[in-house]
Structure 1
Amino acid sequence: MKIEIWSDVMCPFCYIGKNNFEQALEKLPFKDQVEVEWKSFQLDPTLDPKVTQNTIEYFREKKGVAEAQAAQMLTQVTQMGKGAGIDFNFEKALITNTFSAHKLLHLAKKHNKSNEMEEALFIAHFIDGKNVADPEVLISLATDLGIDQEEARLAVTSDALDYEVNQDILEARNNGVSGVPFFVLNGKYAVSGAQPVEVFENALQQTYKETVSPFKDLSGNEGASCDTDGCSI
């Protein structure tokens, strides 16, 4: 069963959604049959990759949100994060263009390490306060995952992976995806936003039953039957 997840590195709800989704998946007996593919999405492609802002500045200058209101919003998100096992550090987080970070994610995908890279990028941005538009930061994240340094350098400093990133963004637009995180479950169902663990668990179970399991039980309840251990009424 394939799960496609559109996400942006600087979206806190994407990080929360990732953790909640993974907690739900761990509870399911078919977790080893699930393939996760991370897809690129940019919340603000107009940002200059050579410029960084703190989160409060970004909300005030780009979104027109008063500083007190922005601070209150971040406090609420921080509390949500704690519920998902994340200690957000918005005071250190640097808002910048994430296109190069997405190129690194596509490189990691070629090495079957996209999930590890997604986590590393979230930690770099939200916890460690690193500049995820800085090629040297991105190269360091790649080498930490065992990806060749020069391969990583080429990926983040050239246009070799631009097409893959842009295709993800175009696919999202063509499917009407305007916000992230956005989860597509085996091409049949979608879950939008940082939903609670229980919502992901139920959605995954339903999708598996309807698209993977060879039979769909239409009885609505478990009637009298026999199995290899005997019979029950």
Structure 2
Amino acid sequence: MKIEIWSDVMCPFCYIGKNNFEQALEKLPFKDQVEVEWKSFQLDPALDPKETKTTFEYFREKKGFPEAQAQQMIGQVKQMGAGAGIDFKFEKALITNTFSAHQLLHLAKKYNKANEMEEALFIAHFIDGKNVGDLETLLSIAGSLGIDKDEAKQVLMSEEFSSDVNQDILEAKNNGITGVPFFILNGKYAVSGAQPVELFASALQQTYDETVTPLKNLSDNRASCDTDGCEI
């Protein structure tokens, strides 16, 4: 069973959704039969990759929110994060263009380390206050996951995997995805947002029951033919 997840590194709900999804999956007996594919999405592709903004600067400039309103919203997200086991450090987070981080994610896919890369990028951005658009920061993250830094540098200094990132974004558009996180379960169902663990577990179980488990025959085998002949 395949789960596709569209996400952006600077989306706190994506990090919450990841944790809740993984907690739900861990409880299910068929967890080893689930393939997870992380897909790229950019919430603000217009951001300058050479610049960073604080969370409050971004809210003020992009959304027009006064600091008091931004503080209130961030407090609510921190509370949600705590429930998912995340201690967000928004006061340290640096908002920047995430395209390079998505290139690195696609490199990690090559080595079956996309999930580890997604987690490492979230930690770097939301916990450690690192610039996930910075070359040296990304190379350090790649190295920490056992990915060759020279290869990572070649990817980040070139257009390699750019088409893969753009393909994910186009696919999101074609699927009507306008916000993240967004989960597509085996091409059959969709779950949007950082939903509770219980909802993820229920959705995963339903998808598995309908698309993976053997068909239950609601009749007998009469009036049918098989390789041994026909039965009336």
**Which band: TM-score by shorter chain?**
over 0.9
Q: Which residue of 2 aligns with 1:209?
A: 209
Deviates more, 1:155-164 or 1:16-25: 155-164
Q: Is the 8 A contact 1:210 1:216 kept in 2?
A: no
- TM-score norm. by structure 1 comes to 0.92
Two-structure CA RMSD over aligned residues (Å): 0.9
Q: Aligned equivalents of 2:152 and 2:162: distance in 1?
A: 14
Q: Is the 8 A contact 1:209 1:216 kept in 2?
A: no
Q: Which residue of 1 aligns with 2:190?
A: 190
- Indicate the SS of the match to 1:4: strand
Q: Any gaps of 5 or more consecutive residues in structure 1?
A: 219-233
Q: Aligned equivalents of 2:9 and 2:26: distance in 1?
A: 23
Q: Could you give the per-residue CA deviations for residues 77-135 of structure 1, whole angstroms, max 9, x where no partner exists?
A: 00000000000000000000000000000000000000000000000000000000001
Runs of 4+ residues deviating >6 angstroms: none
- TM-score norm. by structure 2 comes to 0.93
Q: Any gaps of 5 or more consecutive residues in structure 2?
A: 219-232
Amino acid at match of 1:48: D
Q: Could you give the per-residue CA deviations for residues 42-88 of structure 1, whole angstroms, max 9, x where no partner exists?
A: 00000001000000110001111111101100000000000000000
Q: Which residue of 1 aligns with 2:80?
A: 80
Q: Which residue of 2 aligns with 1:12?
A: 12
Q: Which residue of 1 aligns with 2:52?
A: 52
Amino acid at match of 2:123: I
Q: Could you give the per-residue CA deviations for residues 8-50 of structure 1, whole angstroms, max 9, x where no partner exists?
A: 0000000000000000000000000000000000000000010
Q: Aligned equivalents of 1:54 and 1:206: distance in 2?
A: 41
> 1:215 Cα shift?
2.2
> 1:216 Cα shift?
4.7
Q: Which residue of 2 aligns with 1:166?
A: 166
1:1-233 matched pairs, under 5 angstroms: 1-216=1-216
- Which one has a bigger Cα radius of gyration? 2
Q: Equivalent pairs: percent with the same residue?
A: 78
Counting matched residue pairs gives 218
